[in-house]
Structure 1
Amino acid sequence: MKNSSGDEAVGGAVTLGLLAAWALHDLEELATVPGWWRRNLPALRERYPGMPEAVWRRAGSVNGREFAVAVGAMAAVVASASVAGRLTGGRSATYQTALHAFGLHGLVHLAQAGLVRGYTPGVATSPLIVVPFTLWARHRLRRAGVLRATRPRDLAVGLGFAGAATVGAHAVARRLTKA
């Protein structure tokens, strides 16, 4: 199916699929993050003594309720980006940035597992869902002629987007769960 500009149309599987893939991935994180931190924080502190104490305190203070609220806040970000992608046939810069962020997020999970030399929350679904979905969606966007050229700067923006959204989601969660 072609759109009005003659490009192949990008459907909901590509755009709204970002939200679905993200939800599947975050189900793993919801199920594992709080318990994983409780079990692994002492060993991580010992293995990485140069890490600032504030990082360890913050990591150890996130409870399951706060993490679930942060995931909900992130859901709003990903849903908004996915809808923007759907409404623009995949052309939305916000959608494409979120897609890059999602794929890079999966690679970060793989790197974390390598540093820890074992399981970390999110690493099981990263090679099964996150990275393959991102590559497939990018392929579909490219084939439809709507994928923006991806430069190193775009990847940095994607990582920045993911980082800012994560910090924002956790700030919202902290505020809501302390009220």
Structure 2
Amino acid sequence: MTHTPSDQHVGPAVTFGLLAAWALHDTEELAAAPGWLRRNVPVLRERFPGVPEALWRRAGSVDGRQFAVAVGMVGSIVAAASAAGAATGGRSAVYQAALNAFGLHGLVHLAQAAALRGYTPGSATSPVVVVPFTLWARARLRRAGVLRPTRPRDLALGLALAGAAAAGSHAAAHRLLGGR
């Protein structure tokens, strides 16, 4: 029996693999970001004077608890997207947008590290987990015939969604913890 691409099964390694890859990546961010920010915001403030002072104050005041709550909130979004992907065999537009956002998020980490010429939280797992997983999952979706054509607008939307999820989760965590 011959199989057409759409007959191929996209299993949980592709769909829930997004959640697993995200968890590995965000474990690095969770361990590194609060301390890294406290140590580096003064240097970054001088190096990038055009950034509004309010952003520097907020970045320098992120504590481990607030960051952990924000990471958990994003994790719930990624879990829901992964479940949507599993329920639809990878066809879910939400899952595919989250997969694109994850891969682009990894590229942003690499760009940040390159711009700063050194380590930034998330830059260690991006080239070994985030980008390879995203490329692998997209290839599996493509072979199964379920990957939607990716237009530049979709990539911009994915990047905007990743940014909104991160900013929204940090704002919600800040509010939830009483602005500590």
- Common topology (TM > 0.5): yes
Q: Deviations over 1:137-171 (max 9, x none)?
A: 00000000000000101101101111111122112
Partner residue of 2:82?
A: 82
Q: 1:40 is aligned with what amino acid? A: N
Sequence identity, in percent?
Answer: 72
Structure 1: segments with no counterpart, 5+ residues: none
Structure 2: segments with no counterpart, 5+ residues: none
Within-5 A mapping of 1:7-156: 7-156=7-156
Q: CA deviation at 1:50?
A: 1.6
Within-5 A mapping of 1:160-179: 160-178=160-178
Q: CA deviation at 1:64?
A: 0.7
Measured at CA, do residues 46 and 60 of structure 1 come closer, stay the same or move farther in structure 2, by a change above 3 Å? Answer: same
TM-score, with length taken from structure 2: 0.95
Q: 1:61 is aligned with what amino acid? A: S
Please give the root-mean-square deviation of Cα atoms over the aligned residues, in Å. Answer: 1.6
TM-score, with length taken from structure 1: 0.95
Q: CA deviation at 1:7?
A: 2.2
Counterparts of 2:177 and 2:45 in 1: how far apart (Å)?
Answer: 26
Q: Deviations over 1:105-150 (max 9, x none)?
A: 0000000011111100000000000000000000000000000000
Measured at CA, do residues 95 and 120 of structure 1 come closer, stay the same or move farther in structure 2, by a change above 3 Å? Answer: same
